[in-house]
Each structure stands twice: as C-alpha cells, then as structure tokens.
Amino acid sequence: MAAPDHAIFDGPPSLERTSAHGWAVPHQMSVSYRFETVFYRRNLPIPPQRLNCASMALLKTAVADWSLIGIVPHRLVADELASGALRRIELEELSFDFAITLITTKTAPLSEAALLLIAELRSRFGANQSG
C-alpha cells in the first residue's frame, strides 16, 4: 500500500513500476525473503528496502508520510484504507500472510495467563492449532 498521491498510482501498478520505488518491509525474515523472491523470479531489480523494522506503527508512518510503499497487514490499516488515507496496490504477488509465533517450554506447564493468551490469539487470528 501507499499514500494515495504516491507516484505508483500515476499509471497502472505493476511489479516493474514498483521496483523503482523505496519500500517499507516488516522485519520478519520470511516476509523480506518472499518480497525479494517475487522480483527475483521475474528477473526484475529488487526494490530498495529503505525501512525494515518490527514496529507496525513505524511502517504505517513510513507509508503515510515518507513516500514509501509498504507491506503492512490489512487489519492494521483498515481505517486508513476505508478513509482513503492509504491506498492498496492491487498486485496479488505482493500479498503475504503474516505469522504469529509463540515459543513455550515443554518442561513446565503453561500458566493460566499464557493459556488465555494462546486461546485469544487463536480465536482472533485463526492460528494454526499445532503445538
């Protein structure tokens, strides 16, 4: 997604056109890898990742205020998309799933709070039921 006045919207969006712009990409290795692979497989230059960070708030700011194109989960920018403050770039190749991972120990029982957190995450995000 990008700010509605971003140059990417001066013509029909394409991977070729997006490769010429700076990006804000979550610092989650699988997202960065999948992002780069999309361009690599099409023999296109990999766009510059001007910002890689774990903070979704900072990614949203980079997209809204710094003229970067970004990969941000839709649920985090639903209001901005609905109001027109941000605009989705319609390229299916650049739509990625995000993962939530919790690491727990097998040697100690989980606390009631941890069990409640896991149940809440699973109910909200349809998390994988393994482990």
| Amino acid in position 51 | L
What are all long-range contacts of 36-42, with beta carbons under 8 Å and residues at least 24 apart?
38/93, 38/94, 39/15, 42/15
29-59: b (≥16 Cβ within 10 Å) or e: eebbebbeebbeeeeeeebebbbbeeeeeeb
What 3-state DSSP class applies to 2?
Answer: strand
What 3-state DSSP class applies to 53?
Answer: strand
The C-alpha atoms of residue 114 and residue 75 are separated, in whole angstroms, by: 24
Q: Where are the domains of the chain?
A: 7-94, 100-131
Flag whether pLDDT at 53 surpasses 90: no
Written as six digits, the tokens of 63 are 């997209």
> What are the C-alpha distances in Å from 127 to residues 13, 67, 99?
32, 33, 8
pTM: 0.69
CATH topology of domain 7-94: D-Maltodextrin-Binding Protein; domain 2 (3.40.190)
Q: pLDDT, tens digit, for every residue of 56-93? A: 889 999 999 999 999 888 888 889 999 999 999 988 88
Written as six digits, the tokens of 98 are 């995000």
CA atoms within 13 A on the CB side of 105: 5
What does the pLDDT read at residue 98? 59
What does the pLDDT read at residue 131? 45
